[in-house]
Amino acid sequence: MPTIEQAKVMAKRLRSALAERDIEIPQAVSLELIAAELGHRDWNTAAAKLSSSCGSGIAFRQTIPIFRIFDVLKAREFYCDFLGFSVTMEHRFEPDMPLYMAVERAGLELHLSEHHGDATPGSTAFVWMEDIRAFHGELTAKQYGYGRPGVVRQPWGQQMEVHDPFGNRIRFCQKHR
């Protein structure tokens, strides 16, 4: 049984094949035809069953980079004030112990840790994103004293690299269209 994504690809191929023969059908009709071909009453039924059938097996959901930090105030200035992230979690085993915190913005979660063994200073994370030009404009307008990133055209996309106060780098990249 195909996954829902495979069924959608089948519907797209069907529309293309029919269009080559000067037969135009809406995407919804194509999905209904594929659902019938797969033995389902309609597309909604097929989508529900195909979604549940692809839930077995290994699936990776999210990667969360951990960056080593040495100064909480500097980390907040960079990640929250400059990059626009919000703190979503803070944890200390005891009041005077190192901080472990999570920050998030637009679906990207990063973990920042003062703990010695959690991460290596000078790490790099590569992040695919949308609307890199708007993000660049937002950062440039803040006139951050410790960095003014630029956008560089690379073979894989438009890329902007930022450096935190602890030597870590984030490479934000938008694929070429």
State the pLDDT confidence band at 52, using cuts at 50, 70 and 90: low
Q: How many CB atoms lie within 10 A of CB 14?
A: 18
The per-residue pLDDT for 66 is 97
Instruction: Pick from 2-6, 49-53, 96-100 the range whose average pLDDT is largest.
Output: 96-100
Amino acid at 71: D
Rounded to two decimals, what is the model's pTM? 0.68
Phi, psi (degrees; rounded to nearest 5) at 118: -80, -35
3-state secondary structure of 97: coil
State the pLDDT confidence band at 55, using cuts at 50, 70 and 90: low
3-state secondary structure of 91: strand
CA distance 107 to 86: 11
Q: Which of 16-30, 41-55, 85-99, 108-122 has the lowest mean pLDDT?
A: 41-55
**106-120 per-position pLDDT tens digit:** 999 999 999 998 999
The CATH fold of domain 66-174: 2,3-Dihydroxybiphenyl 1,2-Dioxygenase; domain 1 (3.10.180)
Residue 8, pLDDT above cutoff 70 = yes
The per-residue pLDDT for 4 is 83
3-state secondary structure of 8: helix
The per-residue pLDDT for 27 is 87
Higher pLDDT, 54 or 32: 32
> Read out DSSP for 57-82?
S--------EEE-S-HHHHHIIIIII
The per-residue pLDDT for 110 is 97
Mean pLDDT along residues 124-134: 96
Convert 100-160 into a string of H (helix), E (strand) and C (coil).
EEEEEECCEEEEEECCCCCCCCCCEEEEECCCHHHHHHHHHHCCCCCCCCCEEEECCEEEE
The per-residue pLDDT for 65 is 96
Q: How many CB atoms lie within 10 A of CB 36?
A: 13
Q: How many CB atoms lie within 10 A of CB 78?
A: 24
Q: Quick one: which of 61, 58, 34 has its CA closest to 47? A: 34
Domain ranges of the chain: 4-53, 66-174
Residue 62, pLDDT above cutoff 90 = no
The per-residue pLDDT for 105 is 95
